[in-house]
A and B are shown apart, each in its own frame.
Chain A
Amino acid sequence: MRLSYYPGCSLHSTAAEYSASAEALFQALGVELRELDDWCCCGATSGHSLSSFLSHALPLHNLVLAEAVGDDLLVPCAACYNSLKSAQAFMAGGSQEAGELKRQVAQSLGREYRGQVRVRHVIDVLADPRVENLIKDRLKKSLAGMPLASYYGCLLTRPPKVTSFETNPEQPQLMDRLLRLAGAMPVTWSHKNECCGASLAIPQPQIVEGLVGKIIAAARRAGAAAIVTACPLCQTNLDSRQPAGGDYLPVFFITEIIGLALGLNATPWLRKHLIDPLPLLHQQGLLAAS
């Protein structure tokens, strides 16, 4: 199995451990990742906020590059995933603007957009029965019933018609299934897909602190020992803006958790977290004493 890989800007900086763990995990599973050559930023929230053109043109740049390679496109970032899927939906809508953009893209990139690449998020790929079997065959450590809150946030499941790979986007389940596979115990909780405030963290931090506070309180109420995300911005917000006082909940990437279950060396990834997850993992006997 081979996939094109679109890390996006965050995975090259603030969420470097998401990229490192994803790459190590897929290597251990025998799935080859080939980073898309010369990818550009997807535009993210700022793109669609200020420019309809950029919100479509930037993802199309990457989709056209991926079409030239031909493999499915693996995207770990929820915002990049959403941008790419939204651009595909916009083009498939066949509006006059879409036609015009198609012409512009063909002219500037020297290759026509065909709408042929399958864009897949990390969760979607990991929960694919074929990949799930690869994981099962390689399990080395059980997470021994550790109670974890799977946190989807917004952009992986919304709007469902455009993005969702889940049967019920209001109650997504695939991440829970993956956690169970790793031996953890996913908790049932209220804030699984409530918004963390996303990029408002920089211009309006008080909004994000309020939303993060509610999410953390809900995870605690459900008895979670940590939160698991599949989005670099959710992870950053939950890891950096938990209310002061009381114990902080560690915030993992799903690739780190599956990597731990496969016995991969997770310490270099986990050392990048702001809230140190190592004490929790030592307590659970999941890391060799160092």
Chain B
Amino acid sequence: MAEQQVVPSQQLAAPVARLSGQPVNRCYQCHKCTAGCPVAAIMDLKPHQVVRYVQLGLEEELSKSKTIWQCAACRTCISRCPNGIDIAAINDALKQRSLARGIPPALPEVAAFHQAFLASVKSKGRVHELGMMIAFKLKTGTYFQDVPLGLKMFQRRKLRLLPEGIKNRQRFRTLLQGEGEKGWQE
């Protein structure tokens, strides 16, 4: 059967290597990462395949994959990789590229969670767990998920009603402005 030929290219590998700081071209597919990955069993693309797909420039497939959002960033892969490749960092780079290109995330809840978390941090300097959870639920419509758990935590005063913030907001905001400067965005 005639299939489209896929050959290694630097088209995706180079920008992912730069954004993630990882030597993606060194991977020789020993599968040690996948063997130790706690989430591999449910991933559509296994960790070693993510690296191979990056080498082959298959960005569409990677963007549609749930894997990049399911990675728990436990760092088992980098700890065992004979070539020192941090696949969690590669997954982060792929998440950032996907969002920047406006591709809907394969697991929108995970993206919404990270966005709600960072919005909370950016506004007060510290994360307000209750506020962040409400923002997450409004965005994803998961109103009833974990409500009994939330109530139990609330009863034990594990969730603060009001956010706690840092004092020197001006200094903090100035620091955050650096995010828009060159080199940090895809």
Hey, which bits of chain A sit against chain B, CB under 8 A? Answer: 9-10, 12-16, 38-41, 43-54, 57-58, 61, 90, 93, 95-97, 100-101, 104-105, 107-110, 153-155, 157-160, 169-170, 194-195, 197-200, 202-205, 207, 211, 240, 271-274
Contact = CB atoms under 8 A, between A and B. Distances in A.
Contacts of B146: 202, 205
Contact of A45 (B79, B114, B157): B114
Contact of A158 (B75, B114, B140, B152): B75
Given A57-B176, A207-B42, A272-B157, A46 B75 contact: no
A40 B172 contact: yes
B98 to A, nearest CB: 11
Interface string B70-97: 1011111011000000100100100110
A160 to B, nearest CB: 6
B107 to A, nearest CB: 7
A10 B177 CA distance: 25
Contact of B78 (A44, A158, A203): A158
18 contacts: A9-B126, A9-B129, A13-B159, A14-B129, A14-B153, A14-B158, A40-B125, A40-B166, A52-B96, A57-B175, A58-B121, A61-B172, A108-B174, A110-B171, A153-B74, A202-B146, A203-B113, A272-B156
B121 A43 contact: yes
B177 A108 contact: yes
A90 B96 CA distance: 19
B86 A159 contact: yes
Contact of B110 (A41, A58, A204, A272): A204
B26 interface: no
The prevalent SS among residues of B at the interface is helix
B126 A41 contact: yes
Specify which of A16, A46, A48, A271 lies most central, judged by the most chain B CB atoms within 10 Å of its CB. A46
Contacts of A39: 166
A154 B42 contact: no
Nearest to B117: A46
Contacts of A58: 121
A197 B69 CA distance: 12
Contacts of B149: 240, 274
Contacts of A15: 158
B109 interface: yes
A198 B114 contact: no
A95 B183 CA distance: 12
